[in-house]
Chains A and B, each alone.
Chain A
């Protein structure tokens, strides 16, 4: 009834008064978050490589990569970047650049081996700084690499800035899918559109005999996508090159652009850009 609806609206308005207001980051046109729920399924690798791949697509001019994994920042290593960020005259941190990508990570602010043993409140404050106290400049896309889980960081990011879309990465393994599903539900709760799922580590091909093994199961992500009514943005094989090149800071799309792995990432990047076309200047 209209009386109930009015009550619900009033309740929602009162509840939202305590929440931070969403404010876009100046100069950043669209934010894409890469998340998973499950750890170790390839979020950082995928976020890293997709960001570089965005630059290959002709309409994209400037991209940034924010590593929001405060506890385990992988981006510095993957992008072969080190060092403390400089400060601009306005006291903003200047992102470090490699392969044309502007990067910011907790990893630039602490020693490589230093653990970050922080409670949620401090993490929220760190994420705010990494979002707002960085001189991002004009970006067509800002890709945010999220940590695993469905907690403080994910909530802080989605409550703080408008997000154009989320990409959920998973392997076909049951326990990974469980968490991917929770990740999707979390985005639904905070009203962030899910662009689709990426099926990572989908298949392993023996370098000697070329026999294919589905180490983490086959098609689990496709089935989950169907259940949740989401698209599959693409499949990425489990290939030693992807890991090796990331570990050495020369992601596969740069060092081996003709490989199957690179082509898989390019396809996914194109799917994302198709859903979130570059906004006009």
Chain B
């Protein structure tokens, strides 16, 4: 099947981290969760689809890393103490990490599709997908692009406010 021959073929479970509200800790929790799963011996990847405000590279201090191409697409940046967590974020594709991404929906959708299909994730137990606030293009495109695969589910992050 198509799903078997793609870059996500080796990913066992995909976990979306959502919230609706901004600033409740999605990126923080995605990062900490990935590190915790790694400590438990799992193979982990993080896909940061927050195109306007990619926080994860900075949280893991890899904001100045560059992304390289291989036969099957983009090679993710490897982070964490043992450099074994695969991370992809728009932060790595910008000329300067602090550049603003002021894009409308269709452009965002195109990039998200690429992030899902053109990153050489390899064999992972968990792929954690960090999303931006809201329920918009990024979310719709991500879910649509991930539909053929083993979408484990989503966790919702919120504060008591």
Contacts and interface: CB of A to CB of B under 8 A. Distances in A.
A175 interface: yes
A190 B161 CA distance: 34
Interface in A206-252: 243, 247
B122 to A, nearest CB: 28
B20 A149 contact: no
B136 A72 contact: no
Contacts of A176: 23
B21 A39 contact: yes
Contacts of A116: 135
Contacts of B101: 150, 182
B38 interface: no
Contacts of A71: 20, 133-136
A246 B53 CA distance: 26
Given A117-B135, A174-B58, A182 B104 contact: no
Interface stretch (A10-18, A119-127, A256-264): A119-127
Interface stretch (A20-28, A83-91, A151-159): A151-159
A190 B102 CA distance: 10
A155 B98 contact: no
B24 interface: yes
Nearest to B159: A40
Nearest to A43: B22
B76 interface: no
A189 interface: yes
Interface string A136-167: 00000000000111111011000000000000
A178 B101 CA distance: 12
Contacts of A182: 52-53, 98-101
Interface residues of A, number: 37
Contacts of B103: 151
Interface residues of B, number: 31
Contacts of A75: none
B137 interface: yes
A147 B100 contact: no
A41 interface: yes
Interface in B36-87: 52-53, 55, 58-59
Contacts of B132: 39, 148-149
B100 A40 contact: no
A183 B140 CA distance: 23
A119 B52 contact: no
B22 A117 contact: no
A186 B102 CA distance: 7
A37 interface: yes
A115 B105 contact: no
B27 interface: yes
A37 B98 CA distance: 12
A151 B58 contact: no
B106 interface: yes
Interface of A: 37-41, 71-72, 115-121, 123, 147-152, 154-155, 174-176, 178-179, 181-183, 185-186, 189-190, 243, 247
Interface of B: 20-24, 27, 52-53, 55, 58-59, 98-106, 108-109, 132-137, 139-140, 161
23 contacts: A39-B53, A71-B20, A71-B135, A117-B136, A119-B137, A120-B105, A120-B137, A148-B134, A149-B52, A149-B53, A150-B100, A150-B102, A151-B52, A151-B108, A151-B136, A152-B105, A152-B137, A154-B102, A175-B55, A179-B55, A182-B53, A182-B98, A186-B100
